[in-house]
Chain A
Amino acid sequence: MTLTRRDWFRLTGAGAVTLGGEKLFGSFTDYFRPAAEAAANEQTLITACGICDSVCGIQATVRDGSIRFLKGLPGDISGRGRLCGKGTSGAQFVYDPDRLKYPMKRTNPAKGLDVDPGWVRITWQEALDTIAAKFGDAITQYGAESLLFISRPAPDIWVRFMNSIGVVNRVDHLDECYLSNRIIQRYTTGGYTWCHDFDHSKYIVLFGWDLVAKTKLVYTHGIVAAKDSGAKIVCFNPQYSATARFADEWYPIKPGTDLAVALAMIQVIVSENLYNKDFVDTYTNFGEFEAKIREHFQQYTPEWAEQESDVPAEAIRRIAREFAANGPAVVPAHKKTLCANYRNGSQLVHAISILNILAGTIDRPGGRYFPRTAEIPGVDAVYPPPAYPPKKGRRVDGKDKLPLVLEDGGGLFSTTADGILNRYPGMIKACLFNTYTVLGFPNPPRMFEALATIPFVAVIDTLPTDTVSYADIVLPSATYLEGNDLVSREYTAPYPQVVVRQALVPAMFETKSIGYVALELGKRMAPDYFKDSAGQWINLSTLLDEKTKRAGLAENFAEFKQKGIFTKEQPFTPRTSFNVAGGTKCQIYVPQFAAKGGDPLPVWRTKRELPSAEYPYYYLTFIPGVHKRNSTENNPILHEMFPTNAALLNPKLASELKIEEGQMVRITSRVGSIELPAHLTQTVRPDAVMVAHGFGHRSRLLQTAGGLGARDGDVIPDQTIDEMVQSGDFAGAAGIMDAVVRIERV
């Protein structure tokens, strides 16, 4: 018998089965339906990557509801028509077999990494109702201070949700990486920018930033273009990084002493009057504070800096002179490299700002410039909200002790665990993790300990993380390739450009967007903030249509999906007025810092911990170029390129410690220890050990990443807010690279 199309549905339920089987075969129609006439054709769709902040444009090939291929988008000023390895393999996120698929709840109240939570599947309705009820109860009984959001401040509707319920305790890794930089830039050069016009730079000085290996394409393309057109690149880094190999000069600087070199460069440029006089006289407060500035920097001679940093004084002096003479010159200010790494990171950001001001390249070709962005209205502009409740309550991370941090609104990663456990024990009653893992925190075991004291934990994420082990409710979020949005260029934006982000395929399983979760929780907890002027619930599609129209991109979102990209080329007009807090001129000397518990000029401070008899070596971490934090290790393609971490040791140190290639070693700091195999390499200083970040997932069931490698954070001390304040770190650097360790054979 030959069956033709449709026969099965005609036959269903009437099959001549030998033994009843009505329900058994009847079940077929529960899981199958009549097929559409023809399979969907292959389509090419434009969208935007979402792995890193470059958000490069993508051309995607989609066949029959399945993403087949991703490549760069011509005309995109970020990726310049290309994608990196992470971006190209992005479909692996969507199709990761481990991804969170349905809302789940735990049935076993006991929590721990090795406890079976007894998961059962629940509906979105039940999940959202439960979270809203738990959060609502916490606010009613204990106030908004009892909620902790470990979440980035995006998208805009998520921010509205947090504002509408008065969340005061929020931290995320952007704070860890950006906070000091945001604060310093606001008061020195005005605003907060990541744009660097490397293409036109002639002299680039890099403190630690391995931007070549990181393949954050928006920067990688720029520095390659700079080198091609003859720029000189100087790199200070204890590691012989990809960027160090690419640079014209590399100095294996003593860890955590970049500040000394930066201060000495300022000393040379100021004392020898090499600065860009036109810019400095016209656009900065140098004149007003000249005496103080000159006097302050006198102490930081290259000879002094050599003692601290191991960089020869002669080299520092020559580089400072070249930097001033061979412009346009720039010292890029990147995120983790500066703020997160060392306790003196805030001082370093200030010193870097001053170097760029002295070079006269703030918002000038070849320098650090402010993005010319397209104006896309946020949800608060489209649907103006009622007044938000005042932000009241104790700050679990203690940021209220640092006025500049409080003013910024960010949070402190490194003090959060101590806040939960010791400073305000029992205060946090409910916690929400939005796309974060405890692995990103310094000293993750302490954060797990803190999490275990919180009565209710909800997690929204794409992949299983160790945090899920402590969750009461797990919500599965859709990936960036399954969502809709408008992406405005912010990391490279000499003129406005917007790229569409459109769902290439319907969100898999029962995954939903973060925006959906914000809206639905908001409707339940603070309904007045989630209605339009006619009293109807805000609708996310209508909101997107409205944003598209008001930004002048297209009549509606569907129309913009067809166009894919909007570019408004315009000449670059350098700023003549700088949007600095409290004025219009760039500030070298910042009087507001003095008034708010900081230093008006950058001062030398050592890193938090220095090698000692007990812990004689520096402990450095890095993020492999093919990975992003701890989110990509389960991607089989990227895993193949960088599968796990090792203790990178200089052969000289290895020989002193009698450690051979591949041998297991134990790295111990004052807070913990990890064990992993040694890999001997000349690329690291003989007084340091380097370990890649992002491994050591305890979610051992992860297909690819489970149980592999060591968790680098276990040897990194967290800190108390009092320690941070006493150390003089007024802008909240995280001290991720401040640990010192001992190393031994296992």
Chain B
Amino acid sequence: MIDPAARFAFAGNAFLKPEPARLAELARELEDEVLAAEIERDPEGLEKEYYRLFLNPQGTPCPPWQSVHGEEKRLMGESHLQALEWFRRYGVEPASTNEPADHIGLLLLFYAKLLESGAEEAELAAFRAAHLAWIPAFCDSLEAQAKHPFYAGLARETRALIADASGLG
């Protein structure tokens, strides 16, 4: 079985940038040839679908930032500040200073890093409660709206990963 930390890291990367060549490489590190082949089948379509879903200049169907899904419905809300606090406790900050810290990709990648570095379950559970709990519903919406199989699959995989991590799997 593949280490869940690595799978979280893959999901984080997939949400952060649509770089098919790189994602295929990462999929091979996961020893998932099927996924790598799926990524390489239609790299251009994958890239366009990413922009349509997450960075659409006509309005974003699936905004990938946590605070948009909270009460505030905007960027840089409380969950951004809380994510920054979490990151700083571990001595890190997002490399980009003018984008929200609660991007789904950053949160998943950070969680992967927590797992990888052997954080205690209480710590993991606290992070999940604070920053991953919104993601399953987001994944439902993503799966419903995705027109490219990679993103529908990413939605299912991410939802399953979080369910497993929360002992619900």
Contacts and interface: CB of A to CB of B under 8 A. Distances in A.
Nearest to A705: B59
Interface in B63-86: 63, 65, 68, 73-77, 80-81, 84
B26 A23 contact: yes
A638 to B, nearest CB: 13
B93 A24 contact: no
B119 interface: yes
A96 interface: yes
Q: Which of A24, A25, A101 has the most CB of B within 10 A?
A: A24
Interface stretch (B104-112, B134-142, B148-156, B159-167): B104-112
Contacts of A96: 74-75
Given A116-B52, A508-B75, A27 B109 contact: yes
Interface string A24-39: 1101101111111001
Interface in B91-112: 91-99, 105-106, 109-110, 112
A99 B25 CA distance: 32
Contact of B74 (A6, A120, A636): A636
Given A24-B13, A636-B73, A636-B74, A31 B94 contact: yes
Given A24-B10, A97-B74, A119-B51, A506 B97 contact: yes
A506 B29 contact: no
A513 interface: no
B112 A509 contact: no
Contacts of A143: none
B5 interface: yes
B117 A35 contact: no
Interface string A498-537: 0000000111110000000000000000000000000000
Contacts of A24: 6, 9-10, 13, 26, 29-30, 112
Interface stretch (A14-22, A485-493, A674-682): A14-22
A492 to B, nearest CB: 32
Given A24-B29, A701-B60, A508 B99 contact: yes
A432 to B, nearest CB: 16
Given A116-B52, A701-B56, A703-B68, A25 B112 contact: yes
B91 A7 contact: yes
A163 interface: no
Contacts of A471: 57
B118 interface: yes
A18 B113 contact: no
A33 B60 contact: no
A121 B91 contact: no
A625 to B, nearest CB: 22
A117 B51 CA distance: 11
Which interface class (under 10, 10 to 19, 20 to 34, 35 or more) fits A? 35 or more
B87 A97 contact: no
A95 B75 contact: yes
Interface in A679-720: 699-704, 706
B75 to A, nearest CB: 4
Contacts of A119: 48, 51-52, 55-57
B26 A97 contact: no
Nearest to A19: B3
Given A119-B57, A464-B58, A469-B58, A34 B73 contact: no
B117 A11 contact: yes
B41 interface: no
A3 B116 CA distance: 12
Given A35-B88, A35-B92, A509-B98, A66 B26 contact: no
A104 B55 CA distance: 9
Given A98-B59, A474-B57, A33 B3 contact: no
B16 interface: yes
Contact of B13 (A9, A27, A97, A104): A27
Contact of A27 (B26, B73, B98, B118): B26
A8 B57 contact: no
A120 B48 contact: yes
A100 interface: yes
B12 to A, nearest CB: 8
Nearest to A100: B57
Contacts of A116: 52
Contact of B48 (A20, A28, A107, A509): A107
A407 B58 CA distance: 38
Contacts of B112: 24-25, 28
Contacts of B77: 95
A359 interface: no
A464 B59 contact: yes
A100 B57 CA distance: 5
Given A23-B25, A506-B98, A8 B109 contact: no
Contacts of B38: none
A143 B122 CA distance: 69
Contacts of B120: 1
A495 to B, nearest CB: 38
A468 interface: yes
A703 B73 CA distance: 9
A703 B63 contact: yes
Contacts of B51: 104, 119-121
Interface string B8-35: 0110110010000000011001110000
B5 A21 contact: yes
Contacts of A464: 56-59
Contacts of B168: none
Contacts of A21: 3, 5-6, 9, 29, 116
Nearest to A4: B91
B47 interface: yes
A39 B101 CA distance: 14
Contacts of A390: none
A102 interface: yes
A102 B31 CA distance: 33
Nearest to B118: A1
B75 A97 contact: yes
B126 interface: no
Given A23-B25, A119-B52, A119-B57, A65 B97 contact: yes
6 contacts: A25-B112, A30-B95, A32-B93, A39-B88, A97-B74, A700-B59
Top 5 A-B pairs, shortest CB-CB distance: A701-B59, A5-B91, A95-B75, A24-B9, A95-B74
Given A104-B55, A506-B98, A699-B58, 11 more contacts: A8-B91, A9-B92, A19-B31, A21-B29, A31-B16, A34-B92, A97-B75, A119-B55, A468-B57, A701-B60, A703-B63
